[in-house]
Amino acid sequence: MPWLIHKSIFTVVFLVTSLVAAPSLVSAKELPVVSVVKQQLPTERILDGKLEAVHQATVSSQTRGRVIKLHVDVGDYVSKGDPLIRFRAKDQQAQFDAAKAGHKEAVAEFDRIKEVYARKVVAKAAMDRVEVKLKSAKARLDQATEVLENTIIRAPYNGIVVKRHIEKGELANVGQKLITGLSLESLRAIVEVPQSNIHSVREHKQARVDLPNGQSLMANKITISPQASDISHTFTVRVNLPKGDYRVFPGMFVKVAFIVGTESQLVIPKQAVAYRGEVSAAYIQSADGTLSMQQIVLGRHVEDKIIVLSGLGEGDVVALDPVQAAIQVKTTRSAK
């Protein structure tokens, strides 16, 4: 008799557990599905490239002066407008102060004459004279301001210092090279394209640059060399990246995918793919509504879809929700 009691208790526990743990099921008829279709998609030729800066400039001295401070060194990152080098500016500052005082005096005289001229107390000639004086004072102030500003060398753009041509304490002359830097705002990939692909690259002039950090960018400009190399017989192609800071630097290797044509490819929505470790799969629905898991080999992503290289055929019906599809398959097997 005790064994009957234990068996009854076990049955009740099993039934309660089943009711609590059973997942919510969606019938095969309600499960959302989609047909595998073919689309005309661009074909790509992927080649290795190397990044380089579009802009590299050497800043020269616009005034004669002695270097009193070096704000940067080789390898430093600078933002546009940052000070790079500072010259001794005692004479330039004195010239600026004198010009500023002269301009202030000219403004005061102009305002005074303008007021009395409005009351017709002075002749127009007096008004013309102070107006010319004010313009002359303003010109001297502008010139003195520029000379003073030239004692501080600033970065022309965001970039990296690659060479320094002067040391602290040296006397710089007008036109002397001071700092060489390259811009990180504008980068391009240099690619050697085989002559077998160059006609297609010229025809389509579209490319995608895959960066080491995982970002993928469409090129905003492609420049193709008009002649091939005498040694490698390849064509140098420059692929410009959109302006921006992508945390990549000149000299880094990248992958460049050139559009070379179009072909018909099988595609399914990304959400229909089930990932089981390193295996990719999809759940196919047969004519009678039953589901089965099919291993597939995937290609590249195209917007919200993904290319299927093998494992599916055109017209196959796959489940859009792999999780619910897996539950259906498991439930069907358990029922058998």
pLDDT (tens digit, 9 = 90+) per residue, 136-187?
Answer: 999 999 999 999 999 999 998 888 999 999 999 999 999 999 999 988 888 9
Measured distance CA(306)–CA(295) in Å, rounded:
15
The architecture (CATH level 2) of 33-40+264-335 comes to Beta Barrel (2.40)
pLDDT of residue 207: 95
Label residue 336 by pLDDT band (50, 70, 90). Answer: low
The architecture (CATH level 2) of 89-150 comes to Orthogonal Bundle (1.10)
Residue 10 above 70 pLDDT? no
Element (H, E) at 262: strand 253-269
Residue 304 above 70 pLDDT? yes
Label residue 56 by pLDDT band (50, 70, 90). Answer: confident
- Give the percent of the chain with pLDDT over 90: 66
pLDDT of residue 20: 33
Domain 33-40+264-335 shares a fold with domain 89-150: no
| 0.85 surpassed by pTM | no
CATH of domain 46-54+185-263: 2.40.30.170
CATH 1.10.1060.10 fits 61-87+152-184, yes or no: no
Is 113 buried (19+), middle (13-18) or exposed (0-12) by CB count in 10 A?
Answer: buried
Measured distance CA(310)–CA(47) in Å, rounded:
24
**5-35 as b/e: b if 16+ CB within 10 A:** eeeeeeeeeeeeeeeeeeeeebebeebebee
3-state helix, strand, coil in the chain (%, to 5): 30, 40, 30
The residue ranges of every structural domain in the chain are 33-40+264-335, 46-54+185-263, 61-87+152-184, 89-150
Average pLDDT, the chain: 87
Label residue 7 by pLDDT band (50, 70, 90). Answer: very low
Q: Is 54 within 8 Å of 219 (Cβ atoms)?
A: no
Label residue 329 by pLDDT band (50, 70, 90). Answer: confident
